[in-house]
Structure 1
Amino acid sequence: MVLVLGGVVLDEASIDSRNLFHAAPHLKEAAAHVASLPPKVVSPIGLLYLHQREFAVTLPQDTENVSILGTDDCSTCIVVILRHTGSGATCMAHVDGADQESGITPLISRIQEVSLGYANGRIELHLVGGYMDPRGYSERLVINLLHAFHKEPVEIDLVFACIGEMNTTIRGGLAWPIIYGVGFNVKTGEIFHATFPDKGPDMALRSARQLTGSSHLMDMYDCTLGVMRVGPYHYQPLRGVNLWLEQTDDFIVSQLSTAPEVELPHFASKIRAALKYMRDHPFPAVTVFQDNRPRYFRRDESGAWVHMRY
C-alpha cells in the first residue's frame, strides 16, 4: 500500500524531510512544540528502555509492567514509533543505518499480531530524531525509512515527525540535535522529549551487540508474559580490545561516533563498558547465553527489572 499524510498519499518520488514539512505544515507545528519543551527525567519504574537496534511492542493493558517506552543517545539515529488505533498496541524501535528497510516489516507484523481480536484500527507512525548533520547520515536514513514504509502492504498514517530541520539547532556555528531522547506513554499516546538516568539491565552486553556488527533489530519484550529478554547473540573475540581501551575518549568518539562534533559526554564511557564486557566475555555462547538461551528479566515487587530463570 502506501504512506499516508493527512489522508493524502505521499508522492514517493519526493519523499525527504524538507518536502515532508512543506507538504504538511501541521507536522512542523507539532514538532516545534515538542522540541520546545524541556526533557522529562523518566524513572525506571514502568520504563522499558531500548538500546540502538532494539525494538519492543506492548499494549495499554500491560502498564503494570511497561507504561513508558523510551530510548535516547540519538544523534543521527531515528526513533520509529508505531501505534494501532484500535488496540492501542505500541511499538518503539531505535533505528540506525543498519537493517533500515527489511527491519520495518517485523515491527508492523508484531503490531498486527498483538492487535488480533481488537476493533479495526489504523497504524500511525511517529518519527523522532536525526538532525541536519554535515555528513547527511540522518537525512539518508529518513529517506530510506520513508521509502521502506511506502513499500509495506498496509496503509501507514504519518502523524508526527520531529526530524531533520525541526530537530536541529545551531550552537557555536555547528548544527546540533535538539532531541536526543524520546519517551512514549503507552496508555495516553503522549510523545515527549526525555532523558533516562537508569537505562535498565545488561547495558554493556547490549552495547557490545552493536559494536560487533549485528545489524538486525532485536525484539526485546513479550507483553503477554511481561518478560524482557536479551539475546541470544554471539560475536568473535575482539582482537586489539586492550589497545582500544588504552585510547583517549576523544579518539574513541572520533572513530566510533557518526556525529563526533555533537556526541553526548557519556558516549566514550558507554563504549568502554562494552569493550570491557567483550574482553571479559570473548565467547558469550559459553559464559552468557548458555544453551543458546536469552537472559530473561521480570519486574519485582519494587518495579525494578530482575534476572529470572525461564
Structure 2
Amino acid sequence: MPLYVQGKKLTQIQDSVTDFFEEFPHFKENGKELCSQTKKVIQPQGLLYVDQREYAAVTPNDTCIKTLGSDDATTCHIVVMRHSVTKVTCLGHLDGSGTEAGLREMMDLVIRLSDHTTEGRVEVHMIGGFKDSRNLSAQLSIEILKTFHEMNEDVYLETACITDVNNVTKDALEFPVIYGIAVTIENGNITPATISERGPDQPLRGAFHTPGNEKMLNIYDNENEQLTIGPFDYDPFENLDLWVRLPDHYIRQYLSTSPEQEPEHFVANVRRTLCFIHDNPKPLETIFKDGKPRRFKIQEDGAWTLLEV
C-alpha cells in the first residue's frame, strides 16, 4: 500500500527533497510552525529516552512510560508512528543504517500492539536532518519516504519537518533547527525538546551503533514494562588505544557525520563509549551474561533500577 498525504494516495516518491516540498508545500508551513516552538526541557519522570539506532513503542495503558523522547539528531531523523485509534506510539532514531528493516519492525510493532485492529490508521511524523554539505540528510529523508511508500500497510504522513525545512544558517554554516523531540503517549503531542537525563547504560548503548551493527534495536519490553538493552556484540574498533587518547577535535572531526553541528557534549559521550569498548571488548562474555539482556525498571522519580538477571 502506498503513502498518503492529505488523503491523497501517492503514486511515487520524488528523488529530491526539494521536489517533494514543491509538491506538498503545506509540509513547509507546518514544519516552520514546529521549528518556531520553544524547546521544552523534558524531565525524567515517565520518560523513555530513545538513543541513536534504537526504537521503542508504548501503549496508553503503560503504567510507567508517559513520554518518548530523543535528541542529538543532526543528519539523523526521528520518526514517530502513532495509531489514531489505539494511541500506540512508536519512536525511532534513524541514522541511515538498517533503515528499511528498522521502519518495518516499528510498523509491525505498532500493528501488533494495536491488536491488528482494522479501525483507524497509522500516522507518521518525520523530524530531523538539515542541508548538510554531504547531502546525507536528504538521502535519508528520501530513503525513509520510499520505505513507507513500499510498505504493505497504509501510511499517513502528517509531519515532514526534515532537511530543507529543519534548517537555519548561522555564520555561513547550515544547522538543524530541531535536534530533539518528545511525544506524549496520551495525546500524541510532539514538541521540540532537549533531554539531559537519558537513562541507563549510555556508553553501552552508544557502542551498539559503532561499526559492525547495521540494524536498529528495540529497547522496550511492553509486557513487563522494562527497558531492555541487548544482548549484542560489536566489532573490534581499529586503533582503539590511539582513539581514546586523541584530542577532542579529532574525535569530533572523524567520528561525526556533521562535526560543526554536534552539541557540546558530543565528544565526551563518544569518548565514554570508546573507553567502554576498550574495557569491554567482548560484551557477550562480560556484559550480557548467559545471553540475557540488561533489564531496567523506571522509578517514580525517573531513575532506572537494574533488575537482577
TM-score by length of 2: 0.96
Runs of 4+ off more than 6 Å: none
1:63-114 deviation per Cα after TM superposition (whole angstroms, max 9, x unaligned): x311111111100001111001111001100001111122221111000000
The Cα shift of 1:307 comes to: 0.5
Q: Map 1:34-49; keep pairs closer than 5 Å.
A: 34-49=34-49
Work out the percentage of aligned pairs sharing the same amino acid.
35
**Which of 172-181 and 208-217 deviates more?**
208-217
2:90 corresponding residue in structure 1: 91
What is the letter of the counterpart of residue 137 of structure 1? L
2:127 corresponding residue in structure 1: 128
d(CA) in 1 for partners of 2:116 and 2:244? 52
Cα pair distance change 1:133/1:11, threshold 3 Å: farther
The Cα shift of 1:117 comes to: 6.4
d(CA) in 2 for partners of 1:41 and 1:65? 19
d(CA) in 2 for partners of 1:75 and 1:215? 19
2:223 corresponding residue in structure 1: 224
**Which of 8-17 and 104-113 deviates more?**
8-17
1:139-168 deviation per Cα after TM superposition (whole angstroms, max 9, x unaligned): 000111111111101110000111111100
1:3 aligns with 2:3: yes
1:260-292 deviation per Cα after TM superposition (whole angstroms, max 9, x unaligned): 121211111111000110111111112100011
Q: 1:68, 1:184 within 8 Å by CA — same for their partners in 2? A: yes
**Which of 139-148 and 22-31 deviates more?**
22-31
1:25 corresponding residue in structure 2: 25
d(CA) in 1 for partners of 2:300 and 2:105? 32
d(CA) in 2 for partners of 1:252 and 1:162? 29
Q: Secondary structure at the match of 2:253?
A: helix
Cα pair distance change 1:237/1:141, threshold 3 Å: closer
1:19-57 deviation per Cα after TM superposition (whole angstroms, max 9, x unaligned): 332222332222111101121000111110011110001
2:160 corresponding residue in structure 1: 161
What is the letter of the counterpart of residue 51 of structure 2? H
1:288 corresponding residue in structure 2: 287
d(CA) in 2 for partners of 1:196 and 1:243? 31
What is the letter of the counterpart of residue 61 of structure 1? N
Q: Secondary structure at the match of 2:241?
A: helix
d(CA) in 1 for partners of 2:67 and 2:13? 35
d(CA) in 2 for partners of 1:288 and 1:167? 38
The Cα shift of 1:240 comes to: 2.2
The Cα shift of 1:236 comes to: 4.1
d(CA) in 2 for partners of 1:194 and 1:13? 29
Q: Secondary structure at the match of 1:146?
A: helix
What is the letter of the counterpart of residue 266 of structure 1? H
Q: 2:212, 2:235 within 8 Å by CA — same for their partners in 1? A: no
2:306 corresponding residue in structure 1: 307
d(CA) in 2 for partners of 1:295 and 1:211? 19
2:213 corresponding residue in structure 1: 214
1:260 corresponding residue in structure 2: 259
Task: Give the number of aligned pairs.
Answer: 309
**Gap regions ≥5 residues in structure 2:** none
2:188 corresponding residue in structure 1: 189
Q: 1:245, 1:275 within 8 Å by CA — same for their partners in 2? A: yes
What is the letter of the counterpart of residue 7 of structure 1? G
d(CA) in 2 for partners of 1:247 and 1:31? 39
CA RMSD, aligned part only?
A: 1.4
1:204 aligns with 2:203: yes
1:164-222 deviation per Cα after TM superposition (whole angstroms, max 9, x unaligned): 11100000011111011111111111111101111100000000111143111110002
What is the letter of the counterpart of residue 174 of structure 1? L
2:76 corresponding residue in structure 1: 77
d(CA) in 2 for partners of 1:277 and 1:190? 36
d(CA) in 2 for partners of 1:11 and 1:192? 31
Q: 2:210, 2:234 within 8 Å by CA — same for their partners in 1? A: no
TM-score by length of 1: 0.96
Q: 2:69, 2:182 within 8 Å by CA — same for their partners in 1? A: yes
**Gap regions ≥5 residues in structure 1:** none
2:277 corresponding residue in structure 1: 278
Q: Secondary structure at the match of 2:144?
A: helix
Q: Secondary structure at the match of 1:306?
A: strand
Q: 2:47, 2:302 within 8 Å by CA — same for their partners in 1? A: no
d(CA) in 2 for partners of 1:161 and 1:206? 27
